[in-house]
Amino acid sequence: MIGLLLAIAMVLSLFPAFVGTAEAAQVIPEAVAIAQSQSGTCTLASAAMMIRARMYLSGNSKWSSITEHDIRGDVWLEGAGIYYSWTYTTVGVIITGDHEDVSGISEAQLSALLQRHPEGIEIHCASVPHAVLVTEYTDGVFYCFDPAQYYSGRRIPLTQSWLGECLGDQSSILASITSYWYISSYSIQPDTTVPTVPTAAPTAVPTTAPITEPSATPDVPRQELKVMLQPTDQAGKNGDKVTFTAGAEGEAGLTYQWQYSRDGETWQRSSAVGTTATCLVNATTIGTWYRCMITDPFGQRVYTRAAQILPEQGPVITRQPEDAIGPAGSERSISVKAEGEGLTYQWQLSTNNGKKWTNSKVTTDTVSFTMNKTRNGRLYRCIVTNAAGLKTISETARIVMADHLQIVEQPKDVISKDGVNVIFTVAAEGENLKYQWEYSTDGGNSWSKADSTTHFFHCTASAAQNGWLYRCVITDPSGAKLTTRAASMTIAGLQFTVAPQDVTTSNLKVVRFRAAATGEDLHYQWQISYNGKAWYNAGTSQSLTMIATKTSSGRLVRCVVTDGYGNYIISSPARLTVS
């Protein structure tokens, strides 16, 4: 009988003790947290952290060696993402994860899940989209490990994660959860015991019995790894060399691995290691993004901000030359305005419609002259040079001696509702005049010919034309040309009355971007970008609130407003700068 009882006791000892409240009392060390290796693997990284935490709680010291790469073959389907149900196996370890689809989750439900699964719950919000590992619930606040590069390596409140940045307060995040993963069964061999058999996941039950935890790797205090010096954008001309520099604070033995990206999203390993990366500027590298991955001896990893190679810019022309029009004998001038250091000016003229240019004697920002037949039809442009020798050539302006050709009525701005016929008109004096209407969709930077060649232009207003510009080029039989003012098209009922503005603030301050528009049944969708190319949805109210951190400096924010008819407008990006 005694032998039988001993045999039963030995068998029972093979099963791990499952009392959720006991393991929950163990705080999972921040060393369990890792960063996702690339964009789009937040669910994979969160699963890896959940496995690391489970092995830590079960006393298997090999938890610290588990990475995305180690579990990828078991839990990840290339080209699709994480499996709904997966099983990870390695020596002495068998862990199974399962998945639930939800339409939001309550605070009580998530807290109960953490009681049953102290290694954490991986939550995913498809509207962001992003996943984090929720690890703790204390005094009404959920804490998590976020694998996103700017948040990884530390335990933070859920509201301070990327989900919080995009969705707002804790209740909004919980309401936006669309699925979660949890560990449903595991068999883990602690360092000091024999292999255990697979068993069901723990269920929290009241108990007053003493609890003996398996031995675990001591949580030795380690210095936090954080970026202290961020790389900045570098500009150069073809053939120059530029250098990016990064620096971090942490345990001794930090390693630096530089990465590059053509689109700011997909990253590849660079040959550069160390605190600096030197690059040659050429047609291939201009526009390329660089960042540095910094790792400490314990596997903690942080990423710097992404910096870009930019073409070295010449002077910026702020006001282009305009045509000079007037009767013979009148005094006229053409001028240019530019920004830059040590600017010099060289005006050029052309008598054959721009085929050949000759330097004039004028080297100031304005060329003045008397209108006469000899100058009629000439083109002028200005070459502006800065102290570095970089040049910018202005647009061309024409001299038009017009004794009879003149515009007597300019086209007017139009405000209309969607679907209404509108008309732009011009009135000019002269004989046998020709008209060519043009339109611009980019604020007047470029112009395209419209299909109207009379003194009026009509079209049906649509939301897509909101903000377009229209003008008319008028020509007389001698070839003299006049261009009207640019008239704007505004679609009433959908336009910004308040647009988001740039914000400069200090670290850890609360900032708020605001937007307001006129229209019916409006829906607001905020979006955030790190590079101005890829945009991620954030909040859906008239304002977007976030906590400014040094890692969020440079972030771009914009608002998309849609009305009940499907028309939409997009604000200009506003920049967050954190000093």
In a domain, 5, yes or no: no
Q: What is the pLDDT of residue 18?
A: 36
Q: What is the pLDDT of residue 221?
A: 57
In a domain, 518, yes or no: yes
Total domains in the chain come to: 5
Same domain, 61 and 144: yes
Q: Is residue 172 within a helix (H) or strand (E), and if so which, with residue range? A: helix 170-176
Q: What is the pLDDT of residue 518?
A: 81
Q: What is the pLDDT of residue 484?
A: 92
Same domain, 296 and 264: yes
Residue whose token pair is 């604020």: 443
Q: Is 312 or 229 the better-scoring residue by pLDDT?
A: 229
Task: Say if residue 567's pLDDT is above 60.
Answer: yes
Lowest mean pLDDT among 34-38, 104-108, 218-222, 531-535: 218-222
In a domain, 25, yes or no: yes
Confidence of residue 511 (pLDDT cuts 50, 70, 90): confident
Same domain, 421 and 388: no
Task: Say if residue 403's pLDDT is above 70.
Answer: no
In a domain, 213, yes or no: no
Same domain, 32 and 142: yes
Residue whose token pair is 């694998």: 147
In a domain, 107, yes or no: yes
Same domain, 381 and 484: no
- Any idea what the CATH number is for the domain that residue 472 is in? 2.60.40.10
DSSP string, 449-500: E-S--SSEEEEE--GGGTT-EEEEEEE-TT--EEEPPPEEEEETT-EEEE--
pLDDT in tens, 439-485: 999 888 899 999 999 999 999 888 888 889 999 999 887 777 788 99
**Percent of the chain as helix, strand, coil, to the nearest 5:** 15, 40, 45
The percent of residues in the chain predicted with pLDDT above 90, rounded, is 42
Give the span between the Cα atoms of 174 and 141, in whole angstroms: 12
Same domain, 549 and 428: no
Confidence of residue 229 (pLDDT cuts 50, 70, 90): very high
Question: Helices 42-57 & 68-75, crossing angle to 10 degrees?
Answer: 100
In a domain, 220, yes or no: no
Structure tokens at 565: 């008819």
Same domain, 293 and 379: no
Q: What is the pLDDT of residue 210?
A: 34
Q: What is the pLDDT of residue 26?
A: 65
Asked which of 271, 289, 311 is the last residue of a domain, the reply is 311
Same domain, 106 and 32: yes
pLDDT in tens, 20-79: 334 545 678 999 999 998 878 899 999 999 999 999 999 998 999 999 988 988 888 776
Q: What is the pLDDT of residue 201?
A: 42
Same domain, 397 and 410: no
Which range, 176-185, 262-271, 297-306, 490-499, has the best average confidence (pLDDT)?
A: 176-185
Q: What is the pLDDT of residue 565?
A: 67
Confidence of residue 14 (pLDDT cuts 50, 70, 90): very low
Long-range contacts of 518-521 (CB under 8 A, 24+ apart): 518/492, 518/493, 518/494, 519/493, 519/494, 519/495, 519/561, 519/563, 519/567, 520/493, 520/563, 520/564, 520/565, 521/563, 521/564
Amino acid, res. 206: P
| Segments forming the whole domain that contains residue 451 | 406-491
Asked which of 290, 311, 332 is the last residue of a domain, the reply is 311
Long-range contacts of 103-108 (CB under 8 A, 24+ apart): 103/178, 104/174, 104/175, 104/176, 104/177, 105/174, 105/177, 105/180, 106/174, 107/140, 107/142, 107/170, 107/171, 107/174
Same domain, 327 and 294: no
| CB-facing half-sphere around the CA of 155: CA atoms within 13 A | 16
In a domain, 72, yes or no: yes
Confidence of residue 435 (pLDDT cuts 50, 70, 90): very high
Same domain, 43 and 184: yes
Give the residue-averaged pLDDT of 4-33.
54
Under a CB-based contact definition with an 8 Å cutoff, are residues 535 and 526 in contact? Answer: no
Asked which of 460, 491, 522 is the last residue of a domain, the reply is 491
Give the span between the Cα atoms of 520 and 537, in whole angstroms: 22
Same domain, 63 and 196: yes
Which residue, 153, 265, 291, 156, is CA-closest to 536?
Answer: 265
Residue whose token pair is 């004039």: 360
In a domain, 536, yes or no: yes
